Structure 1
Amino acid sequence: MIKEQGMAAALLFRVHKEEDMFQSATEKEDRLWYRQPAKEWIEALPVGNGRLGAMQFGGWDTERLQLNEDSVWYGGPIARENPQAAAHLQEIRQLLLDGEPEKAERVARLTLTSIPKHFGPYQTLGDMKMIIHGGAGEVIGYERELSLGEGIARVHYERDGAVYERELFSSAVDQVIVLRMKASELQRLSLSLYLNRRSFEEGTVVVSPDTIAMQGQCGNEGVRFCVVMKALTHKGRVQTVGDFLSVESADVVTMYIAAATSFREEDPLGACLRQVGAASAKGYEQVRVEHIQDHRARYDRVLLRLEGTATEADYAKDMPTNERLERFRQGHEDPGLFALFFQYGRYLLMGSSRPGTLPSNLQGIWNPHITPPWECDYHLNINLQMNYWPAEVTNLAECHEPVFDLLDRLRSNGTRTARILYGADGFVAHHATNLWADTSPVSDVVSATIWPMGGAWLALHTWEHYLYGQDAVFLRERAYPVMKGAALFLLDYMMENKQGEWVTSPSLSPENRYRLPNGNSGTLCMGPSMDTQISRALFEACLHASEQWESEAGFRGRLLTALSKLPPHRIGQYGQLLEWAEDVQEVELGHRHISHLFALFPADDITPFATPELAQAARRTLERRLEHGGGHTGWSRAWIILFWARLECAELAYEDISALLRKSVHPNLFGDHPPFQIDANFGGTAAIAEMLLQSHGDAIAFLPALPKAWPNGEVRGMRTRGGYEVDMIWGEGRLKEAILTAMQSGACRIRSSYDLIIREEGSQEGLRLEASVKGRAWNVSGGRRYFISPV
């Protein structure tokens, strides 16, 4: 034991005693703002409470709120399994064994694809339109902003001698969207407001002099929906005229908007009326205060500051967001923009996924379309999973819960699908699902459709939730049954290939093609690398989870046998990790999916410190993809950053996170596929977190991929596997101090390239932990804090 060196106390004072200063500074920076209204949807600003969302445009003559409710999906539940599938499964497998993928795909298209082929999309709820009367003069000092820390969108401007202000938020406490408008001069607000869902509206009805409602149904057997708007004024008058709410000469106007569907409510109109009635009775100020308290309780868990060396970067903090983004695209440094993007991802996850809601879909909850791209559904071959990569590490674990709720329903439906299509035990889900947790193949595009691994990959999210939170009850009651169900399917579904290895068949490497030596090409295959990697990760997780139950000994035996039969990772002729079971020709070298690096991230079967040869092959794989145009979609670029972070290639990670902001975000910082997909936002947030803190491979690493552009900074409230919270401060590219809070007792392992001093809170003595690329451990006590600094 050695005496602690005095720095810990000084840094602890900075991180915790000056916490209010740090929080105040980040609050000022954690906002998006603009000097003009939104002209396009991708310039509008989002608010959401997990279930209800709105996009505000912020005009001065008109205002538009584009509205969403998470269960507004077209069509009802359908059992779509093709009854002829199981009878043709062996034929498909034999054609693949014979090197005839095109023939196999023809049979698969006929027999495995569903009846009908598609399900309905997630749809917009509609718009609230407002016409603002009486203003004719020049607009002065216009500003539109979104405060990430408060969850409030604001508009401020001066016109005709009066100052006008708006506030918009979506309250999770009261389950309403609230818009308040006020003017500095008396009786200056005269408005005409209405609801519409062009061109699929079924009309608006008057409920009372200050309340209107719009109702409809999303197709035969689809959900019935309702949206209600209630307007209250201070002074002035509100009345209904036709299907408008008309406000005359008011000082202040407050609109309460509620929405519901028959997915949750037997009487959507009654539910909406109760919600707007309760919120308006409580009053705007109380609703607002409780919203901010609820929002801050999650958002403020993590604070991030990134600083560079260039003084010009400080100037950018005061620029409008669109100008700041353009300035960065012209080559100027701006570390604070990355911190803003990181927190924006957390804000969007809070806004589109809360306990009791549906999961965040391809656009979160913010979708303006009746027929959106890719149905705005839940894609299970990367996109839904990426949406939740930041949930645990950035301290929003409860935002992960909607995925587990979905998994419970997928498990139920997928048991039927596994039996009918494949004659298999357990449960299966394919590459996409919807409101009704559909588990059948979707569409006739074989390159995406015939992929039976969606349920298995998503099941691993329950294991990640356990690793971070260490909740034994969750593991026993929720995670393990789902993981076991997914594993049982794979144990039944796998078959032996010519080498005697156990592989999935038929399957594919998502959306990619290959060419065999005999000249035949296709997408359908046997044992693509991603499938094997997912299977290995799932089987190993089930083994670890089941160790506490003797009754699972037989299942563990099956898992051990399967693990011994899985193909190993293989390296190809170009030094790359093989994407398919054999070293076949890659048809599209720059393909957007890089599925065969699943073992690098989100799994940890490949690491630079444990499997350096495989890590080098993973690096070569990335280089080849990028050399041929890979990473051209927002989500693909985000995944590449995470790969570089896991390889601890800091400058390459920074190069690609910069490319993400320069090429793949819209003016409101929404991710761009193109078109808009929210996974780039969530993947980008997860990537920044991974550059700063890692905890895979049973060890924690501080600043493993810190780029030179962020030499100074601090972060508070990040989480790691094993049940720890971490605060860090660094300067000149080197850790100054980390503060680790242990949630429970046990051994904690840290990877570090230099020796560390560890001091338990309240102790005057320090423990020296020697440098180790694989990690060294010491024992921690639950509920205690440990101050860690380099020697």
Structure 2
Amino acid sequence: MANGVRLFYEVVRWMQSFVMMRFKSFLLAWMMTAALSSMAQVVPFDTPRCGFSSWMPAPVWEDALLSGNGTMGAMVFGKPHDETIILNHAQCFLPNRIPKQALDQASRLDEIRQLLADGKNQEAARIPVEQSMLEGFGEQHWIDPLVPFANLKVSMAAGNISNYRRMVDFATGEAKVEWEQNGQLFQRCLFVSRPDSVVVLHIRSTGKINASLSLARHQVNWDQWNYINNAIKSVAAEADEKYLSYRTEFVHQWEGNPQGFEGVARVKAVGGSVTVDGSQMVIANADEVLLTMAIEPNYHYHKSLLPVLKERVDRKSSSYQQLLTSHVQVHGDLFSRVKLDLGGGADGALQSEALVLRARQQVSPAIIEKQFDAARYNILSSVGTNPPTLQGIWSGTWTPPWSSGFTHDGNVEVAVSHLLSSNTPDLLKAYMAYHERMMPHYRDNARKLYNARGIYVPAHSSSHGWNIHFSDVWCLSFWTGGAGWTAGILYDHYLYTGDKQYLAGHIYPFMKESAWFYEDFLFKGNDGKWAFSPSYSPENNPANDPSQACINATMDVMIAKELLRNCIEAGKVVGESKAQLKKWNDMLAAMPNYRINDEGALAEWLPAHMQDNYHHRHVSHLYALYERIDPDFVASPSLMEAARVAVEKRMVHRRRENGGEMVFGLAQMGMVAANLGDAQITGEIIQWMSKYYWAPSLATYHNSGNLFNMDMSGGFPAVILRALAYSEPGKVKLLPALPADWKQGAVDGMALRGQVVMNRLAWTPAGLEVTLTSPVDQTVTVELPRAMTAFTTDAKTVRRRSDRLLSLGLLAGKTLKVVVKY
């Protein structure tokens, strides 16, 4: 009996095991079938809610779709049959020569200063050029240009095309292309992953995929071959049944700079075959294709990185969706931190080519919203290893304008100008990191140009930080404001975040060395005030003098004063010595006064004999109103009025040219106008920037209608955010320069100085509501744009101080909402 029971249970257990095994097999088969079915269910893309669609492939690289992770970038033309994807790397600056250090201008500094004192400005400007020739420069030198790493070529069978679209999804970072051909839907999706640091390309279709893939050198024009052969030693493109690879070695190599670049793409074809034809990978009858590619600089080119890169891409997921999900968690978080809502409208659904044309006819709220998102997307995609170059992280040419490096007398500062107010302070750390890497070169500049301690940031840099670019017209070795301006932007990071550790470990050392430079550079004039000689107001000359060389440019004085004030503030936080703080205080007390000219405008140069030249693209002498308003101006109505007059004088030039060239200067003037509370001019500038400076890819231009450039992608959101709120620690001014036609709207997630996030600011003609959050207990004074009749709030820590002032007691981690009625 016992044996029979035992046998019965053994049979039952066997049957259970058999059934479970069969069930698992069934489940696995069902899952595989479902997955294959899902792959086969390729449906047309939805137009992205945050993004745009386009009806035609890019005719030129400037119109390509953009994607990037701050280290690598991709430019997608979107051609169905013969696709080119330009691949970029943030450090791919092509060395034109072994760089020289800064010239020994210090040995002739006394001579330069005497010539300037005698009014012989042009003769003074010739000294650095003459000295450079004595030192073997031979010609004017340019910084190394940002160039393409390689092109990814995708060839597919030709056929009649219908229902073509290409698009970019700002929220995911994807550049997508789709079309129908012979009853078959084809799709290509690309993004550059932040967490995985790879370029990802996915090809799928409702039918079979036949394609050839290869990596190749970017096209060289016939008149560029001498230039290329003098700079590039070798290139090598290879393919096997699993990988594509590309290597390029530079001719000019020096310690600390890449000797070349290498890239590896792993290609996985699902359900098809792969063969090799030379450097091409040929894929036949695949259900889908997934390419993942890594690109790295090689500092020791004799030791190839290809084995390491192959291991890296092999470790990445083979699922496009998994890679995308991981990327969106990082990229999507950055993009979504701030949102502008002006009411939307039908224009938001326009294809990008139509949107650009419609903007030229009539700017609408929906167009402003789209451009606000596009600009922020362009910059966050460019920031990671470095801040944005003139072209962000992208280059589709061997000879980019101004070498597409970092121009520190305005361009890069505008490119990063919205990163803090858009609540992405983590991105500004790339700006700090670049400058930290260049510190040894900056110290060389200070010593060799001015026999000074500390640091000197040149007007132009890329692969190195030595000041090598100047001429007797553009006397850039006379401009001393680069380090101080950089320090001001970095100190603002602390004012927004309150991060004392980052201040002490990174920002303050840079600030302190910037101030040391002025300790050695400045000397007392006959009036007992500090003299700035030589000096330079970027790219402008007085109306009565053809030379840009000068003494006491207003901008130089403003930068030095701001730096010293900031160093005193920061020094007290980090525990600087009393002796050092006193020295900076004493220096501040002896700074020269600003000048108001005979027309009532703030003068661009302090010497009274220098006449202002209003017909110019820069507004350097308004530096004190770019970011945090200079306390000298806050305390002086006459200086504020003089700044307003200076803006009006420059606007004559801009109105004559309908915005005109060099949009970053326009953006700076928009920031100044917003900080002056001039809603009319702020709105006029926003209109110009919206109308004239956008490509069909929603990249931005340097000039009206031409010249691919990312400065305005930084400046456009910055001007808008400054129009909506101005802040200092403990103070917020709401809607200081709201354009008249923005009757209602909202901004969510904007950051304010003093560790405050404005979760929401919404306004109508009848009033506004504002919600603030702070990680620390603090009291904030809020200034309203109009007198209020009443306010409501659930908080017990809100007090009415006047018809336009509220005192808000913020509690750590708690949101506080106030509704105001006018």
What residue in structure 2 maps to residue 8 of structure 1?
Answer: none
Does the CA-based 8 Å contact 1:741-1:785 persist in structure 2? yes
Q: Note the alpha carbon deviations across 1:251-298, whole angstroms, 9 max, x for none.
A: 21122222111259974323432332222x443221121112221121
Q: Select which of 266, 275, 290 maps to 2:312.
A: 275
Does the CA-based 8 Å contact 1:206-1:240 persist in structure 2? no
Q: Report the 3-state secondary structure (helix = DSSP H, G, I; strand = E; otherwise coil) of the residue aligned with 1:389.
A: coil
* CA distance in 1: counterparts of 2:575 and 2:144, whole angstroms: 45
What residue in structure 1 maps to residue 435 of structure 2?
Answer: 407
Q: Provide closer, same or farther for how the CA distance between residues 443 and 247 of structure 1 changes in structure 2, counting only shifts above 3 A.
A: farther
Q: Note the alpha carbon deviations across 1:153-200, whole angstroms, 9 max, x for none.
A: 111221211111111100011111111111112x24333434223335
Which structure's CA Rg is the greater one? 2
Q: Provide closer, same or farther for how the CA distance between residues 744 and 439 of structure 1 changes in structure 2, counting only shifts above 3 A.
A: farther
2:369 is the counterpart of 1:344: no
Q: Select which of 359, 374, 391 maps to 2:419.
A: 391
* CA distance in 1: counterparts of 2:119 and 2:701, whole angstroms: 38
How far the C-alpha of 1:368 sits from its partner, in A, is 1.0
Q: Select which of 650, 653, 657 maps to 2:679.
A: 650
2:259 is the counterpart of 1:238: no
* CA distance in 2: counterparts of 1:115 and 1:705, whole angstroms: 53
What residue in structure 1 maps to residue 159 of structure 2?
Answer: 136
* CA distance in 2: counterparts of 1:263 and 1:740, whole angstroms: 48
Q: Provide closer, same or farther for how the CA distance between residues 271 and 348 of structure 1 changes in structure 2, counting only shifts above 3 A.
A: farther
2:561 is the counterpart of 1:536: yes
Gaps of 5+ in 2: 1-45, 221-227
Q: TM-score, normalised by structure 2?
A: 0.86
Identity %: 25
Alignment of 1:582-601 (within 5 A): 582-586=607-611, 588-601=613-626
2:221 is the counterpart of 1:193: no
2:729 is the counterpart of 1:700: no
What residue in structure 1 maps to residue 392 of structure 2?
Answer: 364
Q: Select which of 66, 70, 89 maps to 1:46.
A: 66
* CA distance in 2: counterparts of 1:172 and 1:188, whole angstroms: 28
Q: Note the alpha carbon deviations across 1:648-695, whole angstroms, 9 max, x for none.
A: 222321111111122222222222123222011111111111111211
Does the CA-based 8 Å contact 1:513-1:586 persist in structure 2? no
How far the C-alpha of 1:68 sits from its partner, in A, is 0.3
Q: Report the 3-state secondary structure (helix = DSSP H, G, I; strand = E; otherwise coil) of the residue aligned with 2:341.
A: strand
Q: Provide closer, same or farther for how the CA distance between residues 647 and 716 of structure 1 changes in structure 2, counting only shifts above 3 A.
A: same
What residue in structure 1 maps to residue 245 of structure 2?
Answer: 213
What residue in structure 2 maps to residue 124 of structure 1?
Answer: 148
Alignment of 1:259-270 (within 5 A): 259-262=295-298, 267-270=304-307
Does the CA-based 8 Å contact 1:304-1:716 persist in structure 2? yes
Q: Report the 3-state secondary structure (helix = DSSP H, G, I; strand = E; otherwise coil) of the residue aligned with 1:71.
A: coil
2:696 is the counterpart of 1:673: no
How far the C-alpha of 1:729 sits from its partner, in A, is 4.1
How far the C-alpha of 1:424 sits from its partner, in A, is 1.1
What residue in structure 1 maps to residue 355 of structure 2?
Answer: 324
What residue in structure 2 maps to residue 6 of structure 1?
Answer: none
What residue in structure 1 maps to residue 35 of structure 2?
Answer: none
Q: Provide closer, same or farther for how the CA distance between residues 619 and 607 of structure 1 changes in structure 2, counting only shifts above 3 A.
A: farther
Q: Report the 3-state secondary structure (helix = DSSP H, G, I; strand = E; otherwise coil) of the residue aligned with 1:478.
A: helix
Alignment of 1:376-775 (within 5 A): 376-439=404-467, 442=470, 445-515=473-543, 521-548=546-573, 551-586=576-611, 588-605=613-630, 610-629=635-654, 631-632=659-660, 633-674=662-703, 675-696=707-728, 699-733=731-765, 735-752=767-784, 753-755=786-788, 763=794, 765=796, 767-771=798-802
2:341 is the counterpart of 1:299: no
Q: Report the 3-state secondary structure (helix = DSSP H, G, I; strand = E; otherwise coil) of the residue aligned with 1:343.
A: helix
* CA distance in 2: counterparts of 1:515 and 1:764, whole angstroms: 57
Does the CA-based 8 Å contact 1:756-1:769 persist in structure 2? no
How far the C-alpha of 1:610 sits from its partner, in A, is 4.6
* CA distance in 2: counterparts of 1:495 and 1:104, whole angstroms: 18
Q: Note the alpha carbon deviations across 1:620-661, whole angstroms, 9 max, x for none.
A: 112111213475222122112112211222232111111112
Q: Report the 3-state secondary structure (helix = DSSP H, G, I; strand = E; otherwise coil) of the residue aligned with 2:512.
A: helix
Does the CA-based 8 Å contact 2:73-2:394 persist in structure 1? yes
* CA distance in 1: counterparts of 2:745 and 2:582, whole angstroms: 49
The amino acid that maps onto 1:128 is L
Does the CA-based 8 Å contact 2:101-2:468 persist in structure 1? yes
How far the C-alpha of 1:469 sits from its partner, in A, is 0.3
Does the CA-based 8 Å contact 1:132-1:192 persist in structure 2? no
Q: Select which of 99, 102, 118 maps to 2:122.
A: 102
The amino acid that maps onto 1:619 is R
How far the C-alpha of 1:338 sits from its partner, in A, is 1.1
Instruction: Name whichever of 662-671 and 608-617 sits farther off.
Output: 608-617
Q: Provide closer, same or farther for how the CA distance between residues 729 and 181 of structure 1 changes in structure 2, counting only shifts above 3 A.
A: same
Q: Select which of 66, 76, 87 maps to 1:67.
A: 87
* CA distance in 2: counterparts of 1:498 and 1:627, whole angstroms: 37
Q: Select which of 334, 348, 364 maps to 1:334.
A: 364
How far the C-alpha of 1:772 sits from its partner, in A, is 7.0
* CA distance in 2: counterparts of 1:759 and 1:555, whole angstroms: 48
Gaps of 5+ in 1: 1-25, 308-312
Give the aligned length: 747
* CA distance in 2: counterparts of 1:522 and 1:122, whole angstroms: 31
Q: TM-score, normalised by structure 1?
A: 0.89
What residue in structure 1 maps to residue 346 of structure 2?
Answer: 315
What residue in structure 1 maps to residue 224 of structure 2?
Answer: none
Does the CA-based 8 Å contact 2:215-2:245 persist in structure 1? no
Q: Provide closer, same or farther for how the CA distance between residues 140 and 27 of structure 1 changes in structure 2, counting only shifts above 3 A.
A: closer
Q: Report the 3-state secondary structure (helix = DSSP H, G, I; strand = E; otherwise coil) of the residue aligned with 2:664.
A: helix
Does the CA-based 8 Å contact 2:214-2:244 persist in structure 1? no
The amino acid that maps onto 1:496 is K
How far the C-alpha of 1:781 sits from its partner, in A, is 2.4
